[in-house]
Structure 1
Amino acid sequence: MIDILKRLLGNNDNGHKAGGLNNEHDLTVAICALFVEMGRIDETFTKKEMVAVIDILTEKYGLAREEIDALMAEADRELKESVDLWQFARVINDNFSNGRKEKLIERLWRIVYVDGKMDAHEHYLMNKLSNLLRLSHKQMIDAKLKVLHGDESADR
């Protein structure tokens, strides 16, 4: 399990505080919870959105499908028990640098635009998450433009 979490979190950088397994696990669940919430914000978690989330967790975090299924199930449980998204954003803010939060926002934009459009619910949630993650409007828009213009280096 520790190896799974290390792959999910990637290399430690200045923005990632050292923490125990519980801290890393909470961070993993928080990231996945934001992906799941973005996918279902319009009350329809489409197959394209599900595939986008799975692809991100596979390509960018190196998780196997069975690991992803377990992680998504736990994130879903946590979302159902939560009052709002602040608890997930707090965990991310405590562990990620601004640069890593920008990458996370880019990945969320990938989920938004998997169907080629953004609806009002997705727009609202992106603005809310940008604020919760303490990112500026410019950082959010820059991430959006990278995704819209297909900048492959944007998500590395």
Structure 2
Amino acid sequence: MLNRIRRLFEQPDRALESLPGPDRLHLAAACLLVEAARLDDTIAPEERARILALVRSRFELSAEEAEELVTSAEQVTEGPAQWYAFTSRLKDSFDYEERVGLIEMLWEVVYADGELHHLESSLLRRVGGLLYVSDRDRGEARRRVMARLGLPVGPGVPDP
């Protein structure tokens, strides 16, 4: 996997297309996670650590592979956001439950610093729509993450 991702930067014009299917999907998902973390202009150390843990666990990667994937995602996402390119690939390749799982991963990243920035909330709404994840399932994923992280969940907590 590492060599295939390194080749991505030797052939930037081919970007995601230069990778085999699973690597392409892993990179697209990691790019969305990095975009979510970067929306408030910085990737906090706890957000990056969360991204590393999520991709390592979800994609069954070694620590080195996870680091390489996240570093590659950070490089790919420099400049203008490319949400549509990443989400369209994932929508076509992930089943519905996998897409809901990705939304849950995104919630974990945006809440890694303990607060939700309005741009992060907007991203989750847009990505949820692009992945064809219902508002209800997106909200349920958010509540699961908040409960897991020990954040207040309930009627007094507004939905983004």
Q: Scaled by the length of structure 1, what TM-score is found?
A: 0.77
* Unaligned runs of at least 5 residues, structure 2: 3-18, 150-160
Alpha-carbon distance between aligned partners in 2 of 1:118 and 1:141, rounded to the nearest angstrom? 14
- Distance verdict in 2 for CA 1:141–1:128, change over 3 Å: same
Report deviation, 1:60.
Answer: 2.7
For the 8 Å contact 2:35–2:81, the answer to whether it is kept is no
Alpha-carbon distance between aligned partners in 1 of 2:21 and 2:57, rounded to the nearest angstrom? 23
Query: Any idea what the Cα deviations from partners look like across 1:100-148, whole Å, max 9, x if unmatched?
Result: 1001111111111112220111111111111111111111101101111
Q: Which has the larger radius of gyration?
A: 2
2:155 maps to which residue? none
For the 8 Å contact 2:36–2:120, the answer to whether it is kept is yes
* Unaligned runs of at least 5 residues, structure 1: 3-20, 152-156
2:92 maps to which residue? 94
For the 8 Å contact 2:52–2:70, the answer to whether it is kept is no
Q: Percent identity?
A: 26
Give the stretch that moved more between structures: 71-80 or 115-124: 71-80
SS in 2 for 1:114: coil
AA aligned opposite 1:143: A
Report deviation, 1:83.
Answer: 5.5
Aligned residue pairs total: 134
Runs of 4+ in 1 over 6 A off after TM superposition: none
1:103 maps to which residue? 101
Alpha-carbon distance between aligned partners in 1 of 2:114 and 2:80, rounded to the nearest angstrom? 30
1:22-61 map, 5 Å: 22-61=20-59
AA aligned opposite 1:133: L
RMSD across aligned positions (CA): 2.1
Q: Which has the higher contact order (CA 8 A, sep 6+)?
A: 1
Q: Scaled by the length of structure 2, what TM-score is found?
A: 0.76
